[in-house]
């Protein structure tokens, strides 16, 4: 029970409080998964990581670019994301990200961005010309 309480207070609460903020959602999911992988209790770490891995809607190619509006994401990361949105082709379109948990520590937000990630703005009727402007 103590390990569960430690997990909730040191990891889960912070991310749960940030969950309703759409521009932070992808960053939130990625950082939470990375922290879950490092949690010392392996049973809690593995169970929570597997559960969250099935809920990665915000890391999907369709929603990932909302992260460029997150003030906590650095300019370097945003540049890499915008570059990927211009250059990176993708395979089959997915509604949520599918990841290998063993590689989560090396993942960045840009790893989830594809050329077709920009279509979310077209779907919403928002011109995407801002995606070619430097985020700084």
pTM, entire model:
0.77
Domain span at residue 33 reads: 2-132
> Number of folded domains in the chain?
1
**3-state secondary structure string across the chain:** CHHHHHHHHHHHHHHHHHCCCHHHHHHHHHHHHHHHHHCCCHHHHHHHHHHHHCCCHHHCCCCHHHHHHCCCCCHHHHHHHHHHHHHCCCCCCCCCCCCCHHHHHHCCHHHHCCHHHHHHHHHCCCCCHHHHCCCC
Sequential pLDDT tens for the chain (136 residues):
777 788 788 777 887 887 778 888 888 888 888 888 888 888 888 888 888 877 777 777 888 888 988 988 999 999 999 999 888 776 665 555 667 777 778 888 998 888 888 888 888 898 888 888 888 8
pLDDT of residue 55: 75
pLDDT of residue 95: 59
């Amino acid at each position: 029970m103590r390990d569960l309480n430690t997990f909730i207070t040191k990891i889960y609460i912070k991310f749960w409080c940030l969950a309703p903020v759409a521009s932070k959602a992808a960053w939130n999911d990625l950082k939470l998964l990375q922290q879950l992988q490092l949690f010392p209790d392996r049973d809690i770490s593995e169970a929570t990581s597997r559960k969250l891995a099935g809920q990665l809607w915000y890391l999907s190619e369709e929603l990932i670019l909302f992260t460029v509006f997150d003030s906590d994401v650095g300019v370097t990361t945003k540049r890499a994301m915008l570059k990927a949105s211009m250059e990176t082709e993708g395979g089959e379109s997915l509604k949520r990200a599918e990841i290998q948990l063993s590689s989560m520590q090396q993942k960045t937000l840009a790893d989830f961005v594809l050329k077709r990630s920009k279509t979310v703005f077209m779907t919403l009727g928002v011109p995407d010309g801002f995606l070619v402007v430097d985020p700084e």
